[in-house]
Structure 1
Amino acid sequence: MAAVGCTALVLIATAVTGGSVDEADSLPGGDAMGLNVEAIPAEYRDWVIQAGKLCADAPAALIAAQIEAESNWNPRAGSHAGAQGIAQFIPSTWATWGVDADSDGDADVWSPPDAIMTQARYDCYLADEVRRYKILGVENRQLMLAAYNAGPFAVAQAGGIPINGETEIYVPKIIQLMQKYSAALDETSGPFGARVIASAKRWLGTPYSWGGGSISGPTYGFAQGAGTKGFDCSSLVQYAVYHASGGKILLPRTSQVQVGEGKAVARKDLRPGDVIGFQLSGSAAGYDHIGIYVGGGQFIHAPRTGQTVSYARLTDGYYASRPQTIRRYG
């Protein structure tokens, strides 16, 4: 994140009832309502939906994206490293984590129900494990995926996503594939907040580009963003709000100015589509990051150079400890 202020956006949408957040059902892909079920082979749909309810860190859309990346839905898949089945478990990991989901008396790595539910169980464990490492600047979901691919020890040793010729490709691939398995949201109908989220969500997996992005979509940035076509945090917010409003609301370009627009909102009144500004670099830089809450304590944003438009958690220490302000534009 540039110290002079992020011309980037963080989209944040929340479902709050009585001051609490329903983490399982409000996340994108967290249940059948947020899942593009038609993209999943029919014989695996019920298991993917069930697996996606085990924890908020591994919603159904992510489970499906992982399976495509691991085996392309082939329950008999194998790898040169000895990984087996639709979710590609190596025997030693399966011996510890395998479950008998179909209740046939055997935890079988070649059984799709067993493998899919074990995948979700292992994802949830890894999410909690890497959260303990308190690695700043990388979303916990990305660290979870990196740990699934390379192992949690490799993530701890690297202090982030390991660069080994595979894991750094695996993680953004799955984040990108989540678009395929997430239910498409209509950017032109429904509540304004839902339209803001839909407009931002379509760009999941798009590279961060400092100074890049406009109301027309991803563009090349400048300075460290000169060679990358994408969005920064505030351009993503600007794009999402502009299209959600049918072109009626054109926000200023930088996060520091965007947080002065619209209506101030108290944290207890936060709702889907509200935008949150963060002071990441100290008060002198103003609110140098911004985003949109999507439910389950998460928001979607363009984080920083080298990363992509993705989800993060408001409870992550990197964000939770910073001053925040909430605005509503529609």
Structure 2
Amino acid sequence: MPEPPLLAVRGLHVTPWDRGRAVPAVRGVSFEVNAREVLAVVGESGAGKSLTARAVLGIPPHGAHVTGSVRLRGRELVGGSYADVWGRRMAFIPQDALTVLSPVHTIGDQIAAAVRSVAKSSREEARARAVTALDRVGIADAARRARAYPHEFSGGMRQRAVIAMAMVNEPELVVADEPTTALDPEVEAQVLEVLTNAREVTGAALLLITHDLRVVAGHADRVLVMYAGRAVESGPVEPVFHTPRAPYTAGLLASLPPAEADAADRWLPSIDGAPPSPTELPHGCAFAPRCPLARQECEEAEPTLAAVAGQPGHLAACHRSVDLPVPATRLFARKATA
């Protein structure tokens, strides 16, 4: 019998309130994360990626209504308590380290506090574990740097410290929400390598929220593509990236600049238009107004996520999925970026 998933999300809806009306921001998203696996969730801003992550973590926006199911090792979390889950079984790496690091406590004391929040450790034991955690994420002279304050760390070092804090109790699942957005490319690569190494040591699975498809290609096992609050494609990274069956996924991939693009070449494919507001969703497929293959049925009914023939685990939500060319990126014309 196959091992059950570590995390199973089924029919997740997240509905915040804005100016007195309900906003369908996440609409029936389902996915799984297996033990030791990396699942990347991608999509444009407003796709619902971060709201999905916050609902999984049990920290949706104030007043938001969450329905559906989020199960960690079979235990239902929606509507339940996260008291013995946070830190011990599930941890969070935010986009901005300063949102979780206190400016008035040392880095080492904050990591030690995370240790003592889930285990009966003495202060000395907790501090020793904090130093070990910092050393694990590549902080040189960890014992000395543990006595430093957040403002004494660079942005990349702060992000490493937050990774150390998330991993120090060896959780089963780590949720990382755009963990390298504010970093330059060289530091981003270093932080991602640190995160990968820390995962290998602790055995944690990772739910990675990102907009960077290059990060997905280099670090994820599977990918979930979201648009307008729904999943439009999912599956192992290789088939999704090489033979996408949802035009939106093809558009995202087409928009990537070549790895060694000519600096004088200012022409890149792009997706026309912009994602719809959650309060003004079209009646049928939400991507139809931007899709080069849209026809009448796309405007009348929203497609469901269905299996792609011949590709195990690959799902796509598109009425025209069988009509996509190979490569599907040909669907999108080249546009001037200047």
TM-score (norm 2): 0.26
**Bigger relative CO (Cα 8 Å, ≥ 6 apart):** 1
Where is the helix percentage greater, Structure 1 or Structure 2?
1
Greater strand proportion:
2
Structure with bigger gyration radius: 2
